[in-house]
């Protein structure tokens, strides 16, 4: 088994025509430090050890009528291909090639490549009322084939994808079966195939693929079999209320499936990239903003039992199966894509929040597996296997989050280099307007510490714009260029530095990582910079459900970094807080020492030893009403 540090060059040019079709230039990145080590553990113990041939074995059977086995290979390929380019691993390349060799002979003469029985394809005669997962699985098969074509240079994969799509267009479309009525959750699962349809159009230029994509978009906006996804987004209907239901179960469960709905909006964003249809872009932006306003919780996750549920205001309650990893990685992809398309730094803010908190929390300590669900309190565990296979949707999907983080780290557009995220790294990016390469080296312990130093390692002097993302949470940020302070630095925007850059120029950024107190439903939580803090049983500093004596104890809380005491914990802090209900006791009247760690580290033993909690209950007074209320600090 190869052991190659994950901090090797990521050549994003591999993905031109796929996830990186935008004005952003390809980037060559080396990442080190904590994130680099976590990526390496995921690569060594997850991606390399996956048997990709096993993931393609279900294609040999044509008897399925409602399961989703054929999504696993495409999901795995979505991260395996970029990691192959990242590492150059011969072991990973051989695994991908073997899976392709096992897959391609399974394609039928008609073009169909899947495992559904002829009588159950495209929603026909399924055991379920909503048509099974056949077209959803076809989506992931197409995505996997496109990635395999790019990373292996095997044009048989592109040919297989085209043959399959050609077959699908004989089954659904105008005058044929309505694609919005062929799959689960009011057609959302089937309609999400829009993304690879657009990719195939960009790869081949075939007008019939663009026409088919336009048909899918029209069905997405249909009330029946599509839920009016565009119209309702533009009308700012909450994501939990967008698609119709005929009875209580269908109205609640089948209309709120978060992962599938986000996948549809990802497809609409790709359609905008291909066509310039601004209505689609506006719908995606409105949807993402609505997710932030109504669903996203403090750690950047969302959903209960994979459903939208107006969860932002309910996150202090013990809801079932919170924060599915598939929802998390799909949200990160959408933020990454919106950042590339719009250049709006707020999408980098959201990607950062999700990545450093809930995403890293889902990865086991050794990097071998991803949790399926991750709550804001309790313990963590591995996910259940799906579809009679030793795999589940979230474990196959998990590594994609690292890909989104890498793609967004440093980008270039026109005459500008944007630093969107901060990690110990070396980034080389070509500026399109100059056709010259700029290299930046970042030295930092961010987000554990608040300072970042960027050094220009470009070989010669160049005139260009350097934009630094100033996070919305950093109220007071200081930027210096070669020791000289920069004026006009504002939170929630880019700091624009336009000058002639010479080799050795240094930019230093100091962020405001003051502790912020968040209040919701008579509960309190704490953040420092982008990091959400949690109590953890390993600190042995009291009962985790112990209440705070009053919710209005003050706006200022001082956090002091302390040694973690164990290699399992990335960051640890101590604060003095008014804990305990017995304030009349001399022993309880003074604030107590309470220790916190970063949310990603909390609970990472996956045992009761590291039980954890984010939202701390606060005692009620006689005039207080225990009811849901908006969060007041995020």
Distance CA 25, CA 340 (A): 10
In this structure, the number of other CB atoms found within 10 A of the CB of residue 199 comes to: 24
What is the structure's pLDDT at 557?
A: 87
Give the containing element (helix H, strand E) for 459. Answer: none
Distance CA 312, CA 518 (A): 13
Distances (CA, A) of 415 to 343, 407, 437, 463: 13, 19, 11, 8
What is the structure's pLDDT at 624?
A: 75
Strand 416-419 to 462-470 pairing:
parallel
Choose among 327, 331, 362: nearest CA to 347.
331
What is the structure's pLDDT at 8?
A: 37
Specify whether the CB–CB gap between 48 and 445 falls below 8 A.
no
Which region holds residue 529: left if phi is over 0, alpha if psi is between -120 and 50, else beta?
left
Pick the CATH number of 12-412 from 3.40.109.10, 3.40.50.300, 1.50.10.10, 1.10.10.60: 1.50.10.10
Choose among 598, 565, 562: nearest CA to 446.
598
Distance CA 107, CA 59 (A): 8
Burial of 137 (C-beta count, 10 Å sphere; 0-12/13-18/19+)? buried
What is the structure's pLDDT at 18?
A: 40
- The distance between the two most distant Cα atoms of the chain, rounded to a whole number of Å, is 82
Which region holds residue 395: left if phi is over 0, alpha if psi is between -120 and 50, else beta?
alpha
At residue 502, the 3 state secondary structure works out as coil
Strand 451-456 to 410-413 pairing:
unpaired
Distance CA 380, CA 273 (A): 39
Q: Which residues contact 145 (CB under 8 A, 6 or more apart)?
A: 157, 158, 160, 161, 164
Distances (CA, A) of 350 to 54, 230, 315, 327: 35, 22, 17, 14
Within 13 Å and on the Cβ side, how many CA atoms surround 222?
Answer: 17
Distance CA 324, CA 373 (A): 5
pLDDT digits (tens, 9 = 90+) for 336-368: 999 999 999 999 999 999 999 999 999 999 999
Specify whether the CB–CB gap between 132 and 66 falls below 8 A.
yes
Specify whether the CB–CB gap between 602 and 490 falls below 8 A.
no
Backbone φ and ψ of 454, nearest 5°: -110, 130
Choose among 559, 561, 441: nearest CA to 508.
441
Distance CA 282, CA 276 (A): 11
pTM of the model: 0.93
Distance CA 219, CA 217 (A): 5
Strand-pairing partners, residue 523, are: 520, 617
Choose among 161, 140, 165: nearest CA to 149.
161
Distance CA 427, CA 455 (A): 11
Distances (CA, A) of 357 to 93, 211, 492, 623: 31, 41, 19, 35
pLDDT digits (tens, 9 = 90+) for 493-505: 999 999 999 999 9
Specify whether the CB–CB gap between 116 and 65 falls below 8 A.
yes
Choose among 494, 488, 491, 486: nearest CA to 416.
494
What is the structure's pLDDT at 103?
A: 98
List of E strands, 285-409: 377-378
What is the structure's pLDDT at 124?
A: 67
What is the structure's pLDDT at 265?
A: 97
pLDDT by 10-residue block (mean), the chain, 634 residues = 38 36 55 94 95 97 93 96 91 98 98 95 62 91 97 96 98 93 84 97 97 96 82 95 62 74 97 97 98 98 94 94 96 97 97 98 96 96 90 93 95 96 94 95 97 97 98 97 97 97 98 94 94 96 87 75 86 92 74 94 95 93 66 46
At residue 50, the 3 state secondary structure works out as coil
Which residues of the chain are in CATH 2.60.40 domains?
414-510
Please determine, looking at this structure, whether the domain spanning 414-510 carries the CATH number 2.60.40.
yes
Long-range contacts of 209-217 (CB under 8 A, 24+ apart): 209/165, 210/274, 210/275, 212/165, 212/169, 212/173, 213/271, 213/274, 214/275, 215/173, 215/174, 215/179, 216/179, 216/191, 216/267, 217/268, 217/271, 217/277, 217/280
What is the structure's pLDDT at 277?
A: 98
Strand-pairing partners, residue 519, are: 524
Q: Which residues contact 224 (CB under 8 A, 6 or more apart)?
A: 180, 181, 244
| DSSP state letter for 153 | -
Give the 3-state secondary structure percentages of the chain, helix then strand then coil, rounded to 5. 40, 20, 40
């Amino acid at each position: 088994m190869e052991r190659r540090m994950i901090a090797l060059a990521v050549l994003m040019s591999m993905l031109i025509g796929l996830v990186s079709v935008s004005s952003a230039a390809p980037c060559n990145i080396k990442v080190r430090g904590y994130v680099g080590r976590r990526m390496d553990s995921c690569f060594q113990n997850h991606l390399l050890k996956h048997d990709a041939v096993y993931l393609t074995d279900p294609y040999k059977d044509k008897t399925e009528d409602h399961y989703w086995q054929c999504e696993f290979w495409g999901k795995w390929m979505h991260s395996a291909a970029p990691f192959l380019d990242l590492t150059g691993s011969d072991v990973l390349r051989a695994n991908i090639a073997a899976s392709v060799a096992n897959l391609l002979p399974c394609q039928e003469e008609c073009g169909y490549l899947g495992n559904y029985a002829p009588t159950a394809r495209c929603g026909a005669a399924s055991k379920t009322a909503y048509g099974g997962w056949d077209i959803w699985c076809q989506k992931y098969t197409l995505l996997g084939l496109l990635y395999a074509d790019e990373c292996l240079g095997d044009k048989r994969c592109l040919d297989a994808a085209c043959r399959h799509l050609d077959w699908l267009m004989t089954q659904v479309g105008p005058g044929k079966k309505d694609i919005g009525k062929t799959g689960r959750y009011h057609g959302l699962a089937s309609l999400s195939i829009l993304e690879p349809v657009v990719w195939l159009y960009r790869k081949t230029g075939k007008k019939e693929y663009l026409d088919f994509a336009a048909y899918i978009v029209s069905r997405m906006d249909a009330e029946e079999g599509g839920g009016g996804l565009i119209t309702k987004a533009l009308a700012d209907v909450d994501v939990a209320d967008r698609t119709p239901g005929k009875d209580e179960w269908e109205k609640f469960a089948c209309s709120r499936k978060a992962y599938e709905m986000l996948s549809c909006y990802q497809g609409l964003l790709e359609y905008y990239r291909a066509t310039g249809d601004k209505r689609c872009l506006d719908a995606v932006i409105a949807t993402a903003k609505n997710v932030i306003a109504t669903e996203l919780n403090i750690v950047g996750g969302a959903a209960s039992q994979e459903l939208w549920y107006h969860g932002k205001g309910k996150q202090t309650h013990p809801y079932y199966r919170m924060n599915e990893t598939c929802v998390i990685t799909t949200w990160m992809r959408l933020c990454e894509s919106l950042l590339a398309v719009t250049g709006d730094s707020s999408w980098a803010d959201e990607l950062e929040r999700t990545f450093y908190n809930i995403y890293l929390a889902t990865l086991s300590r050794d990097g071998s597996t991803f949790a399926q669900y991750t709550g804001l309190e309790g313990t963590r565990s591995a996910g259940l296997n799906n579809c009679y296979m030793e795999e589940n949707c979230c474990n196959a999907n998990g590594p994609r989050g690292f890909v989104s983080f890498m793609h967004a780290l440093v980008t270039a557009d026109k005459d500008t280099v944007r630093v969107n995220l901060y990690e110990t790294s070396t980034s080389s990016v070509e500026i399109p307007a100059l056709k010259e390469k700029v290299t930046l080296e970042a030295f930092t312990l961010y987000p554990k510490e608040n300072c970042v130093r960027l050094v220009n390692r470009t070989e010669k002097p160049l005139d260009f714009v350097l934009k630094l993302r100033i996070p919305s949470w950093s109220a007071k940020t200081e930027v210096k260029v070669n020791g000289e302070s920069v004026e006009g630095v504002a939170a929630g925007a880019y700091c624009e530095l336009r000058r002639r850059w010479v080799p050795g120029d240094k930019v230093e950024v100091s962020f405001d990582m003051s502790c912020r107190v968040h209040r919701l439903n008579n509960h309190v939580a704490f953040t420092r910079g982008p990091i959400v803090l949690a109590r953890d049983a390993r600190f042995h500093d009291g009962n985790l459900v112990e209440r705070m004596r009053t919710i209005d104890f003050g706006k200022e809380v001082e956090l002091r970094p302390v040694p973690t005491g164990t290699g399992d914990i990335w960051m640890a802090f101590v604060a003095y807080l008014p804990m305990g209900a017995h304030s009349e006791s001399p022993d309880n009247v003074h604030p107590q020492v309470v220790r916190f760690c970063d949310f990603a580290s909390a609970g990472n033993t996956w045992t009761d030893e590291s039980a954890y909690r984010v939202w701390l209950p606060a005692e009620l007074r006689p005039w207080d009403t225990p009811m849901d209320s908006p969060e007041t600090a995020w």
